[in-house]
Amino acid sequence: MEIIIQPTPEAATKIAARIIARQLREKPDAVLGLATGSTPLLLYRELVALKLDWSKVTTFNLDEYVGLPREHPQSYHSFMWENLFRHVNIAKKNVHIPDGNTKDIPKFCAKYEKQIRAAGGIDLQVLGIGTDGHIGFNEPTSSLASRTRIKTLTQLTRRDNARFFGSEADVPHHVVTMGIGTIMEAKQILLLAFGPKKSRAIAEAVEGPITAVNPASVLQMHPVTKVCLDAPAASGLQRADYYRWVYDNKPGWQTF
């Protein structure tokens, strides 16, 4: 893991946006895995401002609520179109977001996995992290080998996400999410986390043991993962000074 600590979310986001921009310039038909939530909002704004060419890009989103109409303002379909897709020249047919309203969820999930494979796999996966360490909607104790499937949200996640819905009771219980095994197959992973509420999940994920209790900790097994943090999110890291030194003294030839 490469741990990149910046003073603010804006500074950390700029670095993440540069990594994605480079990916799209090097491979115009790249396959991106995308995340939702408040964390990547700045990133999407930054990517839009960079005016990149998305015409050949394919995207796969991590997750979606089950039973929420697509047009609902809190569906991840709405989120992605509102915050990114409608501002860039992406082809609608290249956008993939799990369908939370499908009649046959297992069949849909198998198809989603197949579509990812048919696209050549995910080149770069953007991730946020839940306060409990979840990635996508893979809640603690999710199998580290899991594939796209239905999951039940924990009370903590429903409480965390209640701010978007008005009340906890309105947050769906079920979601469709890419599995941890699916996420781990991405060639490169970019995890973003901001704010003091994420410091514990980040410290456990980066410096703790690999455990399904903190699903993000599995990223220790991923060969090309970058973690972009603001200072509060990094405040629980024991080796923060080391990570800062490494980043500040990166040799010019080191591209990863």
DSSP secondary structure letter of residue 38: S
44 vs 108, which CB is nearer to ligand GLP? 44
> Which one of 9, 13, 20, 37 is in contact with ligand GLP (CB under 6 A)?
37
Q: From edge to edge, which strands make up the β-sheet containing 149-152?
A: 63-65, 174-177, 149-152
**Minimum distance between the CB of residue 106 and ligand GLP, rounded to whole angstroms?**
20
Among the listed residues 222, 133, 228, 140, the one whose alpha carbon sits nearest the alpha carbon of residue 184: 222
Interface stretch with ligand GLP, choices 33-41, 166-174, 229-237, 248-256 (CB under 6 A): 33-41
Decide whether 38 or 155 has the Cβ nearer to ligand GLP. 38
38 binds ligand GLP (CB under 6 A): yes
Beta-bridged to residue 177, according to DSSP, are 63, 149
184 is a contact residue toward ligand GLP (CB under 6 A): no
- Which CB sits closer to ligand GLP, 31 or 127? 127
From candidates 62, 126, 212, 219, binder to ligand GLP by CB under 6 A: 62
> In this chain, which stretch among 15-23, 123-131, 215-223, 240-248 interacts with ligand GLP, using CB under 6 A?
123-131
Of 128, 172, 215, 232, the one binding ligand GLP (CB under 6 A) is 128
Name the pairing type of β-strands 95-96 and 58-61: parallel
Cα dihedral sign, 57-60-65-67? positive
65 binding ligand GLP? (CB under 6 A): no
Binding mask 132-151 for ligand GLP (x = CB under 6 A): ----xx--------------
Shortest Å distance, C-beta 91 to ligand GLP: 24
Pairing of the two strands 124-127 and 188-193: parallel
Alpha-carbon gap, residue 55 to 94, rounded angstroms: 9
As a whole number of angstroms, the longest Cα–Cα distance in the chain is 53
Residue 163 CB, shortest distance to ligand GLP, in Å, is 8
Which part of the chain contacts ligand GLP (CB under 6 A), choosing from 29-37, 46-54, 77-85, 222-230?
29-37
Tell me the C-alpha distance between 122 and 224, whole Å: 13
61 binding ligand GLP? (CB under 6 A): no
Secondary structure, 3-state, 60-113? EECEEECCCCCCCCCCHHHHHHHHCHHHCCCCHHHEECCCCCCCCHHHHHHHHH
Find the residue with minimal CB distance to ligand GLP. Answer: 128
What is the C-alpha to C-alpha distance for residues 154 and 170, in angstroms, rounded to an integer?
A: 14
155 lies in the binding site for ligand GLP (CB under 6 A): no
Catalytic residues, by residue number, are 63, 132, 134, 139
Contact 142, 170 (CB under 8 A): no
The stretches of 27-69 forming alpha helices (DSSP H) are 41-49
* Per CB under 6 A, 202 contacts ligand GLP: no
- Residues at the interface with ligand GLP (CB under 6 A): 35-39, 62-63, 128-130, 136-137, 157, 161
